[in-house]
Amino acid sequence: MFLLSGKLATNRVFSSPFTSYFRSGHRAIPILAGLFLLKPLTPFAGELHQHIEVKIADQRVEASFCRPEKGCSLVRPETIGLPAGQMPIDQLTGTPIYVSEFSIFPDRTAIDSPGFEGFEGDMISGDRVRYLASGHLGYWSAESSQWSLAPEDVRIRLAGGLDLQPNQDCGQVFCIPKAVEGFTLFDRHGVSSASSLIVGEVRSDGSLHTHLDWIIESGQGAATAPIGAYMVELRLITDNYPEPSDPLWIMFNHGLPLADFQQAVAGRVLQSSIDIGLADRLFDWAESNYPSLFSHAGTSFIASGYYARCYQNGVCAGVKDNHIFAIGGDFGGQIVTVGELDALAAQAGL
């Protein structure tokens, strides 16, 4: 729970039950112990540092691009190659994209941006803000110039979130729950470890300011994670408002020159990342050739970042990041990856 730039995160002391946890000297990320005293090995200009604005609206959490006039950080559209005033919003799904950039440290590559910012009166004092992690780790490389799933041995770790566990050790009738550190892993197969953790606790004036830490990892070591852009998906809830926010995507630059990273952004914002015409033709082909799996064709629609169709037998198939996913019926109750859109379309002769 420390900023990786060398500054102690003053917002990291929460009210009970978090206060005693942090004041006792615990650090919520032991794997980063000591790094808060180190500078990155490569300079980080901070142009991609920003905050996600969090507030309650219409009885649910709303996440949006922050308002710099309120004192938070927002990446300028021009920095990521967009026309002035055009925010990074996925063209096909309308999902907002928050951008960041990894910094290289002696033993890992990580960043604490974007942060989460709420302003005075925007939320209820003492309410706890949580994230819900979902989706699959997306990846863009300069060689492919298209979004796909991340390589097999690469993952992003979201560290610093907290969970509450029962505490029977205080000797009282009622014990304050323990605040326990946790982490979430994103890879091409989905989300593992903790899928939901506490971001922070709302201050007495209804505001929030906190940062978690994002770390890119590889089975061969952090330094071997392929250069490229990576993207994960979150929703936000609070204890008092459990209806999830709309999805938000966070895109990280890992070693790309700025011009290439701008192309990765453009692949989402200035053009559709999904060939919906090809997807529809493949859906039609599957319905004709496998009617028991894809029965009674429905109309294609967009939901949760997927271009999808659902069927009367409970099966849904969707396209995202040039891959076909399915759930329900013979595919089971969890989203499974069927294969690459281009490869399956070629096998079908489309």
Return the domain boundaries, the chain. Answer: 10-269, 276-347
Mapping DSSP to helix (H, G, I), strand (E, B) and coil, where does residue 325 land? strand
Strand partners, 7: none
pLDDT 10s digits, 64-87: 999 888 888 888 899 899 998 899
With bands split at pLDDT 50, 70 and 90, how would you rate the model's confidence at 183?
very high
193 CA to centre of own chain: 15
d(CA 156, CA 232): 8
Of all residues in the chain, the percent with pLDDT exceeding 90 is 58
Q: Does 179 have pLDDT greater than 50? A: yes
237 CA to centre of own chain: 14
Which amino acid is residue 90, in one-letter code? D
d(CA 19, CA 278): 54
Query: What's the average model confidence in pLDDT over 197-211?
Result: 94
Cis bond upstream, residue 114 (ω within 30): yes
Q: Is residue 83 exposed (0-12), middle (13-18) or buried (19+ Cβ within 10 Å)?
A: exposed
Q: Does 247 have pLDDT greater than 90? A: yes
199 CA to centre of own chain: 13
Q: Does 121 have pLDDT greater than 80? A: yes
With bands split at pLDDT 50, 70 and 90, how would you rate the model's confidence at 158?
very high
